[in-house]
Structure 1
Amino acid sequence: MRAILKYLKSLPGCFSWKEHGGMYNTAGIPDVICCYQGRFIGFE
């Protein structure tokens, strides 16, 4: 997971973060959320 986030953060114009799940979070939210070149991308 760290390697993926490191790579995404190295891309120009890319904003990404790790969503930390828990019992009080909404079900179905991807583990890694990314916005790259105006597109939303979710990685599970």
Structure 2
Amino acid sequence: MNTLNRSLKIFRILSERYRNRRRRYTLRCNLIAALYNHELSLAA
């Protein structure tokens, strides 16, 4: 879970104030999590 938080901070979702539409916050978090999971499946 810590590495997922790290990747969300790299994409600046958690490290800064989110300034875009509030509706799309969960969508963007889910997309970044999907990219992270895909990267994990390639590494295994």
Higher relative contact order (CA 8 A, sep 6+): 2
- Give the alignment's TM-score, normalised by structure 2: 0.32
Which has a greater percent of strand? 1
- Give the alignment's TM-score, normalised by structure 1: 0.32
Which has a greater percent of helix? 2
